[in-house]
Structure 1
Amino acid sequence: MDCQKIIKTLKHKDFIKVTNTGKCFENGAAIYAKEIKDNIFLLFVILKDIDIENIQALIAHFDCFNSIGIKEPEQIMFYFSIKDKDDLHYFEQYLEAANN
């Protein structure tokens, strides 16, 4: 699975691309978010250059959907950084296990 495939999967799974105008995430990062519980969001942050070493996944609490990409999260409950192909491999296995 490469970054382009991840982006296609996120769009297919009803993730919404969020405009990044704040200072919480790196300038030029693409943010894809999906609410999983009241004001708890699953986010994927992918840097503009679409390099495998620049993907982050997190579960965070925001005061509302519109504050994502503008304000800092109120709480980060889970954070995963994909830094190499082994990380991506383990993440794929986690996703497959979560779907079963």
Structure 2
Amino acid sequence: MKKSLITAALVMTMAAGLGAVAGCSSEPAKADVNASIPEGAAPLMPATHDGRFDSLGANGCYGCHGANDQANPMLNGSVALPEDHYADGGSNSKELEPTRTQCITCHVQG
């Protein structure tokens, strides 16, 4: 009887410990870095993008946010580039407007 009580107490302690760990492991809600930017300003890049432009250039941004044969922003959950960022003013061209290739000029790190 004493053995079963010790086992039950041990199981309860382990379950409570797992519950505490699970509760602590969730990430805190991230603040919206774009909540306070002025109207018409380019959205800020999230902290997770730190250094990406430096290592990948505009093609790295375009890979996730542009409309091309290998990527579709609507499928990967990223924000799609606006139509005015494309040559000829539309995503059908699948080519960036040359003046839009310096993404970090407008989209600074948030």
Greater helix proportion: 2
Output the TM-score relative to the length of structure 1.
Answer: 0.27
Output the TM-score relative to the length of structure 2.
Answer: 0.25
Q: Highest Rg: 1 or 2?
A: 2
